Amino acid sequence: MELQIEDSILVRDYISGDEKSLEILINRHNQRVTSFIYSKVLDRDITEDIFQDTFIKVIKTLKKGTYSEEGKFLPWVMRIAHNLIIDHFRKNKRMPMFEGSDDFNIFSVIGDSKLNAEKQIIQDQITSDLRHLIEELPDDQKEVLIMRIYKDMSFKEISENTGVSINTALGRMRYALINLRKIIDKHNIVLTNQ
Amino acid sequence: MEKIYSKHEKDYRIVKACAETVKFLLDYSKALHVVKHKELTFENILN
């Protein structure tokens, strides 16, 4: 009972402008309010957030002069905390949160296959360089390589379109790749995106 | 035995909000000024 009276005096003093009273009130009820929140949410960071939001509401209400529960400060604070805990669970129900642990990281399962901006620029550069290199090949090899790689044609289709045998088309493709490697090695060109 | 020893012992441990949070609240309180004009209430955060 004595504690409640002290609280009410501190509240009155705080409303009158004594900031020190708030510090006493927060420190006095810190453990009870925090433990209450923690017992519901079981997360240290969320507990800190809800504790902070609770006292922000307390401060605003007191400063606005709309506090009317003289003598029942702690139950009032606990009720605010309780409502914020409910809000927290409602929000989480709409948007469930998954936190990984040291053993399991959710991002090892859910990945973004898109390249980031830097890697995309590198990829575009490689594609562009490769096209220039292909231009350096003899026409017959270039023709087969473009049909196979860029047009995704089979060697049977290539042989039909170019009027050569499948073996010749295969040979031209092989020489095209060998020659490309030679040009790349000769000019120390790096075509990787790691 | 199962009923005597709770599996969730850590759920009931006593915790306290950290000093930074308390300091933030005290600073917030000092910075917050409520101005009333007729039926309107204005909240100002003064640094």
A57 in Cβ contact with A87 (< 8 Å): no
Q: How far is A66 from chain B (nearest CA, A)?
A: 11
What string of H, E and C letters represents the secondary structure of chain A? CHHHHHHHHHHHHHHCCCHHHHHHHHHHHHHHHHHHHHHHHCCHHHHHHHHHHHHHHHHHHHHHCCCCCCCCHHHHHHHHHHHHHHHHHHHHHHCCCCCCCCCCCHHHCCCCCCCCHHHHHHHHHHHHHHHHHHHCCCHHHHHHHHHHHHCCCCHHHHHHHHCCCHHHHHHHHHHHHHHHHHHHHHCCCCCCCC
Q: How far is A130 from chain B (nearest CA, A)?
A: 57
The chain B residue lying nearest A20, using CA atoms, is: B26
Domain that holds residue B24: 2-45
Q: Which ipTM score applies to this complex?
A: 0.74
**The pairing of beta strand B40-45 with beta strand B32-37:** antiparallel
Of residues A39, A164, A1, the one with CA closest to residue B13: A39
Task: Indicate whether A193 pLDDT > 70.
Answer: no
Residue A127's pLDDT is 87
Tens of pLDDT, residue by residue over A122-148, are 888 888 888 888 988 999 999 999 999
Tokens of A81: 């905390």
Residue A32's pLDDT is 93
CB-nearest to B16 from A31, A42, A52 is A31
Residue A25's pLDDT is 93
Backbone angles phi, psi at B42, to 5 degrees: -115, 135
Residue A70: pLDDT band by 50, 70, 90 thresholds?
A: low
The SS3 assignment for B21 reads helix
CB-nearest to A52 from B15, B25, B30 is B25
Tens of pLDDT, residue by residue over A85-118, are 999 999 887 776 666 677 777 777 776 777 788 8
| Number of domains comprising chain B | 1
**Within 10 Å of residue B34's Cβ, how many Cβ atoms?**
15
Residue B6's pLDDT is 54
Task: Indicate whether B21 pLDDT > 90.
Answer: yes
Positive or negative: CA dihedral A181, A183, A188, A193: negative
Separation of alpha carbons A79 and A50, rounded Å: 12
The separation between the first and the last C-alpha atoms of chain A, rounded to the nearest angstrom, is 69
Separation of alpha carbons A97 and A86, rounded Å: 16
Kindly list the residues from chain B whose CB atom is less than 8 angstroms away from the CB atom of residue A38.
13, 15
Separation of alpha carbons A13 and B17, rounded Å: 24
Q: How far is B44 from chain A (nearest CA, A)?
A: 11
Separation of alpha carbons A47 and A57, rounded Å: 15
A-B CB pairs within 8 A amount to 60
Positive or negative: CA dihedral B13, B19, B22, B24: negative
